[in-house]
Amino acid sequence: MPLRIIFMGTPEFSVPTLRALAEAGHEIAAVYTQPPRPAGRRGLDLTPSPVQREAERLGLVVRTPVSLKGEAEQAAFAALQADVAVVVAYGLLLPKAILEGTRFGCWNGHASLLPRWRGAAPIQRAIMAGDRETGMMIMKMDEGLDTGPVAVAERVAIAPDMTAGELHDRLMTIGADLMAKAMSGLERGELTLRPQPANGVTYARKIDKAETRTDWMLANQQVHNHIRGLSPFPGAWCEMEIAGKAERLKLLRSTLADGQGEPGEILDERLTVGCGEGAVRLLELQRAGGKPVTAEQFLRGAKARKGMKLA
């Protein structure tokens, strides 16, 4: 028998999983997502989340509570009489009453190889740390932060120049398929849970704007990991003097390069930049208010040349 599911998610990352569960024939009792956010220049327009837009396209019931801590919200959740809740990047804390508010509990799709990178930003942190692999895991949630037992997992290699955006899209697709398989196993009573290892725990804290500026004093591998780990959002950045004034540049893509010079110094006509050790070559970047461009396009437009400095 198909499961009666409450789906809980908010960003684009969650959408393929919602779609996969609906296509698998499960009954989606309701979709929980974060409330519409202010948008537009004045912040007067309210923009629904990607999950809300997809749920409405599918004709599903949508709920957007600002919190699940109140008794009324918890009673409304329980009243749905769902078999299971599926959670993918929802963004709100789930109290014990919600975790226990369905027959089989809450199951989470998490983008790391737990217990490594528990928390809010596992994709970015894995790349920024130089990890060579990560993965998707489906776990049964408990009251801890990503501490529940794991049901299924799939490992994914992180290529040397892969950005967070590229890894996000890969894991988003894998996660949808993995959750659909997990729910099929749960439906048949064939899922086996295993506790997470006690060793190897790390936390993927939320990205802070204060850490997004590129530090050219670091070794080239660290600079490269920083750039690709923050691409495309929120974006690593630096400043360069263009037409007599300092202009902010968003760095979107890079690769390791041969060369040595002063940290931040442009070393050649290919936008190779010196680091504290070694160099990186910038491949794609974006001027303030502009569109992403290749290094060649940037050099032509900004009249950047060898010997100039990025700060």
Binding positions for (6S)-5,6,7,8-tetrahydrofolate: 112-115
Tokens of 4: 């009666």
* Pick from 16, 24, 189, 186: nearest CA to 88: 16
Q: Could you please report the per-residue DSSP string of the chain?
A: ---EEEEEE-SGGGHHHHHHHHHTT-EEEEEE-PPPEEESTTS-EEE--HHHHHHHHTT--EE--S-S-SHHHHHHHHTT--SEEEEES--S---HHHHTSSSS-EEEEESSSTTTTEES-HHHHHHHTT-SEEEEEEEE--SSSS-SPEEEEEEEE--TT--HHHHHHHHHHHHHHHHHHHHHHHHHT----BPPPSS---EEPPPPGGG-B--TTSBHHHHHHHHHHTTTTT-EEEEEEETTEEEEEEEEEEEEE----STTBB-STT-EEE-SBSEEEEEEEEETTS--EEHHHHHHHHT--TT-BB-
Annotated binding site: 112-115
